[in-house]
Amino acid sequence: MKIGICNDHAGVEYKNRLVEYLTAKGYEIVNFGTDTTDSMDYPDVAHPLAEAVEKGEVDLGIAFCGTGNGMQMSLNKHQGIRAGLCWSVEIGKLIKQHNNANVLVMPARFIPFETVVEITDAWLGEEFEGGRHQTRINKIPNCR
Ligand code: RB5
């Protein structure tokens, strides 16, 4: 499985540590994020990741910024993206089971790295439940 990953300056360390962890587990990683701690603008890396997920160039995405919110807001501007902001393992499971989130977003400044690993494993390990949840996600892009 190919995973695209992106981050701003607040998420460099967690991005690097998670890439190492996921690569060791056999995932292929494509890096869309910045590799320095110089201040930068999260939409500049969120949009390329979103486009890669929408085009099927990567199977799933993971994004970090300080709070996770800037990334989540930018990613969810794309019609084919369902980016879920997660700070607990339970939410990590539910964004796959109920929302079929194709991008996992985490707040690098607010959770320990151990939690990042647990959330990522939970999200990757769950299955979308379909049914009523498919009906609901089908309605997400239909803005009225
Ligand atoms: C950067 O200081 C911070 O604003 C950014 O990482 C993120 O939290 C924005 O939503």
- Structural domains in the chain, sorted by start: 2-138 (3.40.1400.10)
Q: Which atom of ligand 1 is nearest to the CA of 8?
A: 6
* pLDDT mean across residues, the chain: 97
Query: Is pLDDT at 109 greater than 80 in this prediction?
Result: yes
**70 C-alpha vs ligand 1 centroid, how far in Å?**
6
- Residue 141: the pLDDT is 87
The residue whose CA is least distant from atom 4 of ligand 1 is: 66
Query: Is pLDDT at 40 greater than 80 in this prediction?
Result: yes
**60 C-alpha vs ligand 1 centroid, how far in Å?**
22
Query: Is pLDDT at 144 greater than 70 in this prediction?
Result: no
Substitution candidate for ligand 1 out of 39, 65, 69, 76 with most atoms within 8 A of CB: 65
133 annotated active-site: no
SS3 28: strand
Res. 143 pLDDT band, cuts 50 70 90: low
9 annotated active-site: no
Comparing 44-48, 123-127, 138-142, which segment has the lowest mean pLDDT?
A: 138-142
Distance separating alpha carbons of residues 24 and 80, to the nearest angstrom? 29
pLDDT digits (tens, 9 = 90+) for 77-93: 999 999 999 999 999 99
Distance separating alpha carbons of residues 21 and 24, to the nearest angstrom? 5
